[in-house]
Structures are given as structure tokens and as C-alpha cells.
Amino acid sequence: MHAGARLFSLFLSCFLLLATTPDNEPRLSGYSAASSRNERDWEVKFRALPTPQNLRDYMQRLSARPHHVGSPYDKDNAEWMLAKFKEWGLDANIETFDVLFPTPKARVVELVEPTKFTAKLQEPALAIDPTSNQQTEQLPTYNAYSADGDVTAPLVYVNYGIPDDYQKLERMGVSVKGAIVIARYGNSWRGIKPKVAGEHGAVGCLIYSDPADDGYIHGDVFPTGGWRPRDGVQRGSVMDMPVYPGDPLTPGVGATKDAKRLNLKDVKTITRIPVLPISYADAQPLLAAMKGEVAPEGWRGSLPQTYHLGPGPAKVHLKMQSNWDIKPLYDVIVKIPGSANPDEWVVRGNHHDAWVNGAEDPVSGTVVLMEEARSFAALLKQGWKPKRTIIYCAWDGEEPALLGSTEWAENHAQELRRYAVAYINSDANGRGYLSMGGSHTLERFINGVARDIEDPEKKIPVWKRDQLKAIADAKTPEERKEARERPDLRIDALGSGSDWSVFLDHLGVASLDLSYGDEDGGGIYHSIYDDFFWYTHFSDADFSYGRALSQTAGTAVMRLADAELLPYEFTGLADTIHRYLDELQKLLKTQQDEVIERNKEVEEGVFTATADPKKTSVPPPVEEIPPHLNFAPLQNASDALTHSAQRYQNALEKITQNGELRLSPDSLHSLNSKLLESERKLTSPDGLPGRPWFQHLIYAPGVYTGYGVKTIPGVREAIEQKKWKEAEEQIVRAAGALEDEAKLVDSATQELEKEK
Ligand SMILES: [Zn+2]
């Protein structure tokens, strides 16, 4: 039944696309013909302003020295940005918070048996790379929020260290109890690796960068090419952010001077075992000293040796101790007050702190944000008057735990829940295709923006380039057909990994995350080599995609800030929810089929007959077949949302006939305040099971994937973790949120219908 509904919405969207203004440009959604033309004029002026030279100059300044949380240059950068914003005539200030940020006091990794080797845990300076020698200011290589510990134990190789890998180890009779695991980076957010290792009884965790994942297999290593050299190490946080991000001591509230703080010993988001990241130069002697079964195919990296699972005989001494200090954060906040609707806020952010010099992560995005602000300042002087309030934020402390954005938004939670229209995020930027992620209520909106941005190399709209790539990448005829015919390109749901998390996941503010990439590549992520030299040789060296990102994000901000009617759109959301629902049903069916088949094979003796008698092999246990679940509440709710979304589109179409937006100022105001609630309706104050900070019932980072998104997470994770009763309860909760959303959309439709 919803297939027909989708067809209808497709027809309607095509119709809307044809409704153009006299000068042949499509009328912007939420605008009258006249205001749309006026907006387009301002946007064209805006897009001419950002310059690659400015981006390059800001980057050279911001990445000149290491600038992690608590470092002198972190504060210096914040003050420099503040001065710049003020110099341009903008109203800016710095908001500070005090957060727990551990830095290393003692780090040891040494092989003690059967031979001796001490890891150097140090990235060497390179003569050709002028900032790589700033060793006194560089944070040592470590994983922030690792537990303190001093352990000596045999080594076990666990591949990427995700739950599936441990299942496979069990089948091969390998236990990590009492062992130190060595996992390779990749395939999950890094914090998942020590978490799962600890849950399986390991006492320590090493994470290394295998050349298969970001090293010489892909291309020449730095400084000849852009890929990770043998001594390159990926720093990074291992805090259990899928429980809650932000300052571990102040969950749910801003880390102000007088905030109530937890005791360190009561914090649940610090790892339970010590963990350190190492280069492959440091990992290779450890891996070479291991014996035991040969690692299965797919587990083997690109080092010139055989990969063994252990345990042992390699025995490792791992020591990690931190200074558990409170450090200040400096969030730089710029406010452009709205001329007509000052109580509706469009928020735009990118972080400014880095692990070391961070030219790519985050400065390539920070400079883009600065250049947008400078261009807006110029437009304001020319007479541009944004209707809504625009807030630009350069966050501190993103790298350790999304600290700056989370503490700021928790501190302003009440206002944000009432006033925030949207949050637009960026982070590291590269070169290539536009990547669009975010709330599906903004899917059509951001597709519209992407149609108006020119790709700097191909000179076609970045939207067109994305579409043609979607056709090239399609795996099935259906996907190809959709890429050709669906009016909007699908945007990705957001998990975690950057500063949108508190806005989307905690507060229910519709969010977008934008970047260019796919044609840059490289392996200097979170190392001392992520610097100006690397960026200007191996990434967006001429800053043309930096300029494109300024144009993209800035246009999105303007278009949201100036619209008469907020341009959220719900048919795309409803269509996406139907897809998620199909996925959930398939997930359950697949689990049922797999258990049935495996049980049958156990009974037939398949596993015992095919196991090599010279190797350890444990047949899988006979499992209970997953029960059928009642998806009806979700099906009914998503059908209701589909209908409501269509009725709203119909009513909107009627009211905007002839290019007029025939709404009285009062109705517009009341409609906008209703629409402002639309993302909030998808949240619940009780949050997700076991992690109440995460309140969005449609999007969340996975408990066992970290960055990776789980959609309709309450239901999906309950099915994955075989919690059947919880799955049924979560179906009802998610359905309730979708019904509330449908009701809100209906009441907006009634408001529109009153007017004709
Ligand atoms: Zn970043």
C-alpha cells in the first residue's frame, strides 16, 4: 500500500519542481515568487565572496602549532578567531567551560617474552615537514579516557575487535580472558575496541594502524605521498560516547564553574581496561612474536608476515597512566540577530581544537566556517537582513568527546529546544563529491541547495555530480533507476563522530552534516603529520573545495534564515521511515533463517565433520529461533505519517499557487512555531534503553558501532541483541513518536487550509 503512496509523492515532487518563477529558476520552498527572487539575488552575492586565499591564510595561522584542549595555542586560536569576527563587525564572544581532559603521564608498551622489544611510542619529525618537529607542544600518542593500568599478559590478535570477531574467536577456541588484545584500527569507532575487549575479560588493549587500512597498500606514504608512514599513530578518544558524549563529570548539564560534578570513580564512560594506540612499526615485532592458529582470511593485514591469533607466546607489558585534570574550553560564538523572527535560530558549527596541528581535522572545516562569517558580515553591510537569528560556533574540545558543542548546548538546552530551527555542521573537508547527511525533514531542502552549487573542477552542479556518481555506483537496476528518477538524492542518517550529536540526538534539533571528499584519501588522521604541509600537498591544495563548502553551508544557512515558511518536508521522511521499517523486518527474518539453518547443520553434524582435527574448532550452540514480532504499530504509524505528509504537501501547493504565499503574518508565525517542533516530536525525554541522554527515537550512534548510525535504534538494537520483549516495547514507543509527528503535520495542514 505504501508503494502507491510513494508513486504519488514522486508525481507531486516532479510537479513542484516544474513550478518555476518567471525567470525560470525554481521558486524556493517556503518563499513567495518575489521573496524567492530576492533571496536568490543575495545568495548569488554571497557565493562570490569566499576566497581560496583567505582559507589558506587562516589555515596556515590556525595550524601553525599544536592546539589541543588546554594547550596555549588552543586558547590563542580562539582569541584570534574572536578578534577576526569582531574586526569584521560581528557580535562575538567566547563561552568557557571546565571539563575533565586526561593527558598521558606514563606510557609503556614492551614485549617481555619470548624476546625483548620496547615500543618507541613516538612519531619522528621529518625534515621536509616544517611543523612536525614541535615535539614539546605535541600531545604524546595515546587514547584519551583510557583507564589507568599496569598489566603484563599474553597477546591475542582480535582483527578489528568488533563483536563478530569475538564470536569467530570463540568458534576457534581462543579466549581473551586475562590477555592483552591487539586490534587494528578500522571497521568501527575506536572506543568500541577496548569496550568489547573488556567485556570479554581482556586486561589491556593495543590498537595499531595496519598498512592494509590506511598505509602503503593504498598509495605512497608520507612525505612522498599522503598515506600513513610506518611510525604514524592515530590518537583519539576511547570514551564510551554511545552512552553520553561531553564532559564525563557533568552528564546532561553544562560544565560551568558551579555545575554539580560526578566523582571520577563514578564515571561510567571511561574504559575499564588500559588502552594505547601504536604505529605498525611498533606493532610488527609484537605480531611477529605471536604463535597459535593462523588468523582467518580477511583478518590478515598487509604486513610481510603470517598473522597468528595467539594467545602468546608473545607477552606484553602495557602501562598507561593519565593526569586526570580539569581543562578550560573556549567556544567562540557569533550572533547575527534576526530582523523579523529573532526567536528562531539557525545554528552553524565546526570545531577548532585538534589532536596536534590538525590542518585537515578540523582546520579545513574551521576556515570554511570563518569565511562564511566574513562573507555574511560583508552582506550585512550591503543591506542583507536575515529574518531569523544566525549563530556561528567554533567549538573547542570536539576531539576528546564532543566537549565544546555538548557543554554549550546542554547549557542552552531550554532556549535551543524552543528556538532552534536547525544545526548545520561541518568538520574536516577534502576534495571530491558533496556528502550530505542529516535529518530527513531537511532532505529536500539540502538537495535544493546542492543544485545551486558549482563543482569547482567539473563546472557542473555538485548535485548533478553526486547523482551521476550514484548511477555509477548503483549495485542493482532498482538502485540505478532510483538514482535517475527520484527527485531528491537520499541523504545519510547521522550516527555520531562530530558536533551535531547533542543537537540531533539529545535535543531533537533537525541537523545536517556537510563535507566534500572521496578524491583526497590519506592516512595522517590524528597524527603529527596532519598539518599545513600535508594538506597543501595531498588534499584540497588549492582550497577550491573549501570555497565550495563555504558556498554550500552558507547558502543553506541563508536559505533557512530568510524563508517565510520553514522549508521542512515530510514525504521524504515518511518514505525513509518505510525503508527503515522494511530493513527491521528483513533483519529479524534473516536472524530467524540463520538460526534455523545453523541448528539444522549442528544436528546433521556438519561442523564436527568439516572441522580439521588438527585445529581447535568449537561447533556453534543450538539457539532458540527468534520469535515473530508485532510490527503493526510501526506500520500503522508510518502509513499515518505518509498520509499526513502528502496532505501537507497538497495544502502547501494550493496556498502557494501563482507564486504567492497567501498566509497572514499571524498564521505564518503560528505555522513556523509548529514546524519548529517537528524534529522534537521524534524524541522522547526517557531516551533509549540504558542511555537516556540519547533521546532521538529515529537516529542514534550504535552501542557497538560508535560512529555508525542505527536507525530506529531502540528496535534495531533490541533485535540485534536478541532482547525480544524490549523490541516489542520499542516498536510501540517509536510508533508513538511517529504518530505524534503525523498529528503535528496534520495540525500544520489545518492551519494552511484555514487560509484559502
Ligand atoms: Zn574533527
What are 573-616's pLDDT values in tens digits? 999 999 999 999 999 999 999 999 999 999 999 999 999 999 88
Query: ∠385-386-392 over CA atoms, to 5°?
Result: 125
> What is the 3-state secondary structure of 38-59?
HHHHHHHHHHCCCCHHHHHHHH
* Residue 741 CA, ligand 1 centroid: distance in Å: 33
pLDDT of residue 117: 98
Residue with cell 545536517: 512
Q: From ligand 1's centre to the CA of 402, what distance in Å?
A: 9
Tally of CB atoms within 10 A around 87: 11
Q: What is the DSSP string of 153-216?
A: EEEEE-TT--HHHHHHHHHTT---TTPEEEEES-SS-TTHHHHHHHHTT-SEEEEE--HHHHST
Please give the Cα distance from 12 to 230 (Å, whole number): 55
**31 C-alpha to center of ligand 1: Å?**
35
Dist. CA 598–CA 618, nearest whole Å: 13
**Centroid of ligand 1 to alpha carbon of 149 (angstroms):** 28
Of 591, 627, 648, 592, nearest in space to 731 by CA: 627
**8 A C-beta contact, residue 576 and residue 709:** no
Q: Which residues place a Cβ less than 5 A from the ion ligand 1?
A: 361-362, 427
**Which residues share a beta bridge with 515?**
435
C-alpha span between 668 and 566 (Å, rounded): 9
**427 Cα–ligand 1 center, Å:** 5
- Ligand 1: distance of its center to the CA of 66 in Å? 14
Task: Please state whether 659 falls in left (phi above 0), alpha (psi between -120 and 50) or beta.
Answer: left
CA of 397 to the centre of ligand 1 (A): 10
C-alpha cell at 427: 568538520
Q: Determine how many CB atoms are found less than 10 A away from the CB of residue 536.
A: 16
- Which residues are bridge partners to 521 per DSSP? none
Q: Ligand 1 centroid to 86 CA: how many Å?
A: 25
User: Ligand 1 centre and the CA of 526: distance in Å?
Assistant: 9
Rounded to the nearest angstrom, the distance between the alpha carbon of 328 and the centre of ligand 1 is 19
Buried-state track 148-186, b at ≥16 Cβ within 10 A, e below 16? ebebebbbbbbbbbbbebbebbebeebebeebbbbbbbb
Exposed, middle or buried: residue 110 (CB in 10 Å: 0-12, 13-18, 19+)? middle
Cis upstream peptide for 311 (omega within 30°): yes
Element (H, E) at 725: helix 724-754
Residue 329 Cα to ligand 1 middle (Å)? 16
Under a CB-based contact definition with an 8 Å cutoff, are residues 427 and 434 in contact?
no
- Residues 167, 172, 177, 183: is their CA dihedral positive or negative? negative
- Residue 14's pLDDT is 41
Contacts of residue 665, defined as CB under 8 A and 6 or more positions apart, other chains included, come to none
Q: 350 alpha carbon to ligand 1 midpoint, in Å? A: 8
Are 692 and 686 contacting, i.e. CB atoms less than 8 angstroms apart?
Answer: yes
Which triple of cell numbers denotes residue 78? 580562539
What's the number of CA atoms in the CB half-sphere (13 Å) around residue 226?
21
Predicted local confidence at residue 271, as pLDDT: 96
Look at residue 755 in the predicted model and tell me its pLDDT. Answer: 78
Distance CA(125)–CA(448), nearest Å, equals 46
- Ligand 1 centre to CA of 22 (Å) is 43
d(CA 537, CA 531): 10
Query: Ligand 1 centre and the CA of 751: distance in Å?
Result: 42
Report CA(51)–ligand 1 centroid distance (Å): 22
Tell me which H or E stretch contains 81. helix 72-87
Q: Which pLDDT value is given to residue 497?
A: 85
Q: What is the pLDDT of residues 403-426, one digit of tens each?
A: 999 999 999 999 999 999 999 999
What distance in Å separates the CA atoms of residue 21 and residue 558, rounded to the nearest whole number? Answer: 19
The CA 398 to ligand 1 mean position distance, Å, reads: 7
Q: Distance, CA 335 to ligand 1 centroid (Å)?
A: 23
Instruction: Give 353 Cα–ligand 1 centroid separation in angstroms.
Output: 8
* pLDDT recorded at residue 756: 63
CA of 524 to the centre of ligand 1 (A): 13
Q: How far apart are the CA of 685 and the centre of ligand 1, in A?
A: 28
Ligand 1 geometric centre to CA of 45 (Å): 30
CA of 515 to the centre of ligand 1 (A): 12
Q: Closest by alpha carbon to 190, among 437, 494, 493, 400?
A: 400
For ligand 1, the distance from its centroid to the CA atom of residue 209, given in whole angstroms, is 19
* CA 508 to ligand 1 center in whole angstroms: 22
* CA 352 to centroid of ligand 1, rounded, Å: 8
Tens digit of each residue's pLDDT (9 = 90 or more) over 626-644: 999 999 999 999 999 999 9
> How many angstroms does the Cα of residue 113 sit away from the middle of ligand 1?
39
Whole-angstrom distance, CA of residue 71 vs CA of residue 728 = 49
* Residue environment code for 280-294, b if the CB has 16+ CB neighbours within 10 A, otherwise e: bbbbbebbbbbebbe
Name the residue among 162, 302, 334, 243 with its Cα closest to residue 704. 162
- What distance in angstroms lies between residue 400's CA and the mean position of ligand 1's atoms? 10
Nearest to 243 by CA among 577, 564, 496, 579: 496
The CA distance from 8 to 570, in Å, is 14
Report the distance separating Cα 339 and Cα 377, nearest Å: 15
Q: Given this model, what pLDDT does residue 649 score?
A: 96
63 alpha carbon – ligand 1 mean position (Å): 13
CA–CA distance, 289 with 284 (Å, rounded to integer):
9
Q: How far is the CA of 245 from the centre of ligand 1 (A)?
A: 15
Distance 361 CA to ligand 1 centre (A): 5
Residues in Cβ contact with 208 at an 8 Å cutoff, skipping those fewer than 6 apart: 182, 183, 184, 185, 277, 278, 279, 280, 282, 283
Distance of CA 418 from the midpoint of ligand 1 (Å) = 28
Distance 351 CA to ligand 1 centre (A): 7
Cα–Cα distance measured from residue 311 to residue 174, given in angstroms and rounded to the nearest whole number: 7
Compute the distance from residue 362 Cα to the ligand 1 centre, in Å.
Answer: 4
Q: 322: which strand partners?
A: 104
Distance 649 CA to ligand 1 centre (A): 37
Q: Could you give the dihedral angle defined by the CA atoms of residues 541, 427, 678 and 684, in that order, rounded to the nearest 10 degrees? A: 160
d(CA 712, CA 689): 12
Distance 498 CA to ligand 1 centre (A): 6
pTM of the model: 0.95
> What pLDDT, on a 0 to 100 scale, did the predictor assign at position 23?
55
| Cell numbers placing 564 | 517565510
Report the separation in Å between the CA atom of 198 and the middle of ligand 1, taken as the mean of its atom positions. 27
Q: How far is the CA of 365 from the centre of ligand 1 (A)?
A: 8
CA of 458 to the centre of ligand 1 (A): 27
Could you say which residues of the chain have pLDDT below 50? 1-22
Distance 231 CA to ligand 1 centre (A): 22
Distance (Å, whole) CA 677 – CA 685: 14
Distance 743 CA to ligand 1 centre (A): 38
**3-class secondary-structure state, position 633:** helix
